[in-house]
Amino acid sequence: MGLNTTSEIDIVRVSSSKIDSIDFENISFGTTFTDHMFVCDFREGNWQRPQIKPYEPFLLDPSAKVFHYGQAIFEGMKAYKDEHDDVWLFRPDQNMDRFNKSAKRMAMPEVPEDIFMSGLHQLIDLEREWVKKGLGNTLYIRPFMIAIGSGVIAAPSTQYRFMIILSPAKSYYSGEVKVIIAEHFSRAANGGIGAAKAAGNYSAQFYPTKLANEKGFQQIIWTDDATHTKLEEAGTMNVFFRINDTLFTAPTSERILDGVTRKSLISIAERDGINVEVRSVLVSELVEAAKDGSLKEVFGAGTAAVVNPIVGFSYQDVYYELPKIENSFALQLKDKLNSIQYKLADDTFGWTVKV
The residues of the shown chain that bind ligand COI, judged by CB under 6 A, are 76, 202, 236, 302-305
Check: CB of residue 197 under 8 Å from CB of residue 94: no
Nearer to ligand COI, 49 or 206 (CB): 206
CB of 347 to ligand COI, least distance (A): 21
CB of 267 to ligand COI, least distance (A): 18
What is residue 285's three-state secondary structure?
helix
Q: Look at the alpha carbons of 113, 119, 120, 122 in this order and tell me if their dihedral is positive or negative.
A: positive
Nearer to ligand COI, 159 or 341 (CB): 341
CB of 349 to ligand COI, least distance (A): 20
Q: Which position's Cβ is nearest ligand COI?
A: 76
Closest by CA to 145, choosing from 125, 119, 164, is 164
Beta strands in the chain (DSSP E): 10-11, 36-43, 46-47, 51-54, 72-74, 77-81, 87-90, 138-147, 160-169, 177-181, 219-223, 230-234, 237-243, 246-249, 275-278, 281-282, 295-302, 306-315, 318-321, 352-354
CB of 278 to ligand COI, least distance (A): 20
Nearer to ligand COI, 181 or 304 (CB): 304
Nearer to ligand COI, 174 or 275 (CB): 174
Nearer to ligand COI, 236 or 352 (CB): 236
Q: Are strands 306-315 and 352-354 parallel, antiparallel or unpaired?
A: unpaired
Closest by CA to 152, choosing from 63, 62, 59, 60, is 63
Angle 201-203-206 from CA coordinates, rounded to 5° = 120
CB of 300 to ligand COI, least distance (A): 10
CB of 84 to ligand COI, least distance (A): 26
In the DSSP assignment, the letter for residue 215 is T
CB of 304 to ligand COI, least distance (A): 3
Nearer to ligand COI, 225 or 233 (CB): 233
Phi, psi for residue 126 in degrees, rounded to 5 = -65, -30
Nearer to ligand COI, 99 or 160 (CB): 99
